[in-house]
Chains A and B, each alone.
Chain A
């Protein structure tokens, strides 16, 4: 792997982020026939019900297996308890898969979830996938990474002889259409393609990306995680995998090491620049020449002028909590913004290598220095730095957003980037819509002297 001469800093890790169990919110909606069971305490439950707000009331397909004193002191049998709960879940909801989410507590009391799972799985006849998404080891979006990595083990093995059959069942309904439209040479190429994309995206964003690749005569043979657990993609030698999100390094590693897939290292399809680079890398991996991407990118940029003029020259500070930071910063730099600092919970320099080098070349072409990348940031120190730098915009969690606003620093709530549709050419606008919202709000407001609304200045 290439190493970059960018300097990485590492602080104390005293920062605010969501607990990784929050991944159930995205994933239970993505995997339609799943049920997520979080094995943890009231603390976990309280976080979920407050963080996910309204979704709680819509009969969610997730619940807590709330540990009580008897479970902690091993007076109760974990296996029996979990089995009892899973029987109830099967009876009430009948899911195709139950995903157990291990938490800090199960780690500390060393509850062997992986060891326990096979027995109830057999008795219930429902697959039980175990993912340890806990706050001891991971931050926020990394929860999704652990679940996807756990699922990768359940994907069927790719059998090259029945390759064509599995591909057609995966359901590219208009495959025939592509075939009639392409030459013999391309068709032969298509047959050898086996591309699995990693990351849970809303289904319409997933199909937008599928379509972008189809324009380059590349068929996506499956997604991990899929729309339904029963549609897990086949994995094995000869399968190419590519991530759409920057926080999927465990999944990528699992695919490479355990399932012998080939990983395409690419920047992530966030922003038109990222999307183009992402498609290009995939094309090169399949020995194709990308078609019309330059024009498409330019056309998207043209459509964004209204926003880019607004952000041009403005400065931004990423406090860091969801691992999307490098990609977003790279896109914003390309939009003409100045990035003071990129805080990030965890930086996998190998998985993100292509993204980092794109960031670097973007900085060069935009003639700005590469921003400092601060791993495991310290929020207190960051606020001190922000106090000096006075950025036009801070991208931060909700714990800091209101206090910063009261101090005259505009903020954008970072979690929105994980729930909004930000991938692909089509959604570049949505990213800027989010980023410019505080700026546009200010333009609309006329609040003379209302910029600083602190009750008292106890903080400097």
Chain B
């Protein structure tokens, strides 16, 4: 594995003629000459397998605009319902994507999922071709079951983070952020590669009801605690995007200082 910083247009010193090369994000193949060059500034990653037969090459760069790729796990907001599919927004001001009503476990023509506009879903990108609408699905492709996808309940809180921090949280096994957070509170989290995080501490944020006040006094105090924990956790994760790993403990303390 080699790592160095490249800027768009740099030559890549890689023998692409002898090994089969797969290009990833940030790498562009010249359609006329079939040469590859970086198209975004960042850290160049070249990974070759042990037999030296297959190379994966991509650049790691920090961006905020999400471009769908197949197999990405994303959090989307339902913004429209059409006959057979939902229109889902993955990021503000991005082109919306399609979520077919048939792309849910046990769904059929008669048994449709009942999602409303404004609700959030955790889904997988099943088809991402630039020329055509991107499609999502809420089925695990291996088991054909739910697999953690589907509606994200309203007691959670959704906030935005940078795309590379989202990737760090989701894929880096040795990432310490979530471990550190778990020392302070109980939480449930869904991380979307599109830079959206759904977070819920304890029972999450509940709607306040007016009736049965006495009974709810205890409940509402626990609900308030959960709400504060959720917001603190969100603040901690948002801060973590920009800090040095050595500052994690300070930030964690800072975020949870009123507990």
A complexed with B: no
Query: Which residues does A use to contact B, with CB under 8 Å?
Result: none
Q: Which residues of B contact A (CB under 8 A)?
A: none
